[in-house]
Amino acid sequence: MKRGRRTLVKFFKLVPKPLVWRFAKGYIAGARLEDAVRTVRALNGEGCRATVDVLGEDVADEREVQKFVDAYRRTIEAIVREGLDANVSIKPSAMGLKIDPALALRAAGDVVRAAGKHGMFVRIDMEDSSTVDATFDLYARLRAEGNENVGVVLQAMLRRTLADAARLAAEGANVRLVKGIYVEPRPVAFGEFDAVRQSYARLAELLLAAPRGYTAIATHDEWLTVEARHAAARLGAGRDRFEFQMLLGVDPLLRRTLVAEGYGMRVYVPFGAGWHGYSIRRLVENPRVAGHVARAALGLGPKTE
């Protein structure tokens, strides 16, 4: 399974960018901030909140880090100016985590404080397993500086996550729970679909059972949304203690169904020039769309039923 995902990642990196964009554009608001604003406004009209992300990661130059900080400042200002129901998320590697953790703390702190002036929340995204400890440390340091408007992400596919979730639940943290999409070695992560799904359900229940904190159930797996709803009802976790989250362009029918049932829904809205790496991960995660792109890249016609 993981070998196949690695092969797909390598393959799609060789596919011409215009072809990748043709299939990936449904998952991305666009290249400009105005595109994100327009997308969030439409989602707000459907009863959804949003999390806006400036696409880009693995920054290797301190000057590029500052460009991301500035881009987030503009994004926060636009959200406030336009009266949108949205917050922002940041990738640690875009804040310079792989250059210097101290740099990442300064950069992320600038974004968190800029958002905090407007009562806006900031989610620190979780990247591959090699960055997990450094990301938790970044989160802890931001909290220690008095920033209460910041939360973190847990990946159900990682074997370590149960212990991490227990610690964060005890702290009353604001946590987004995802399955995880990075290609990880078997000793670090569960490799089978059912194992990841069971891990997710167990983690959701642990977080919802905590006496305080907030949980974002981020999944497009309808079975898991049902399990989370049942767990919340059984544990007495009110709808003010959790929300569902989904990616832009993925299963809008399930999204609208959950909204119609009165559940909080937040949609991840990425935008910006750094769309390519994000798009490849989305393609690898979606075998049906990936198959179409692969056939087109190889000069084959559409697959017939």
The pLDDT score that the predictor gives to residue 282 is 63
Regarding whether 45 and 20 lie in a shared domain, the answer is no
Query: pLDDT tens digit string along 46-88?
Result: 999 999 999 988 899 999 999 999 999 999 999 999 999 999 9
104: left (phi over 0), alpha (psi -120 to 50) or beta: alpha
Q: For residue 125, is it within any domain?
A: yes
Q: Over 80: is that where the pLDDT of 157 sits?
A: yes
Closest CA to 125 of 86, 152, 104: 152
Q: Over 60: is that where the pLDDT of 4 sits?
A: no
Q: At 9, is the pLDDT very low, low, confident or very high (cuts 50, 70, 90)?
A: low
Summarize the confidence of residues 102-122 as an average pLDDT: 98
Summarize the confidence of residues 28-42 as an average pLDDT: 95
The pLDDT score that the predictor gives to residue 26 is 80
Regarding whether 288 and 235 lie in a shared domain, the answer is no
Q: Over 70: is that where the pLDDT of 266 sits?
A: yes
CB contact at 8 A, 48 and 267? yes
Positions annotated as catalytic residues are: 125, 176
Q: What range defines the domain where residue 107 resides? A: 33-271
The pLDDT score that the predictor gives to residue 27 is 84
The pLDDT score that the predictor gives to residue 110 is 98
The pLDDT score that the predictor gives to residue 296 is 44
- When divided into structural domains, the chain yields a total of 2
Regarding whether 207 and 284 lie in a shared domain, the answer is no
Q: At 273, is the pLDDT very low, low, confident or very high (cuts 50, 70, 90)?
A: confident
CATH classification of the domain holding 240: 3.20.20.220
Closest CA to 68 of 56, 76, 51, 80: 56
Regarding whether 230 and 295 lie in a shared domain, the answer is no
Give the integer Cα–Cα distance in Å for 271 and 87. 14
Regarding whether 149 and 109 lie in a shared domain, the answer is yes
- Of 22-36, 107-121, 124-138, where does mean pLDDT reach its minimum? 22-36
Q: Which residue has the tokens 């995880």?
A: 180
Between CA 294 and CA 304, with CA 300 as vertex, the angle to 5 degrees is 95
The pLDDT score that the predictor gives to residue 14 is 53
Summarize the confidence of residues 160-177 as an average pLDDT: 98
Mean pLDDT of the chain: 89
Q: Over 50: is that where the pLDDT of 118 sits?
A: yes
Q: Over 50: is that where the pLDDT of 191 sits?
A: yes
Q: For residue 115, is it within any domain?
A: yes
Q: At 290, is the pLDDT very low, low, confident or very high (cuts 50, 70, 90)?
A: very low
Query: pLDDT tens digit string along 85-101?
Result: 999 999 999 999 999 99
Q: For residue 305, is it within any domain?
A: no
Regarding whether 96 and 1 lie in a shared domain, the answer is no
Using a pLDDT cut of 70, give the percent of the chain over it: 82
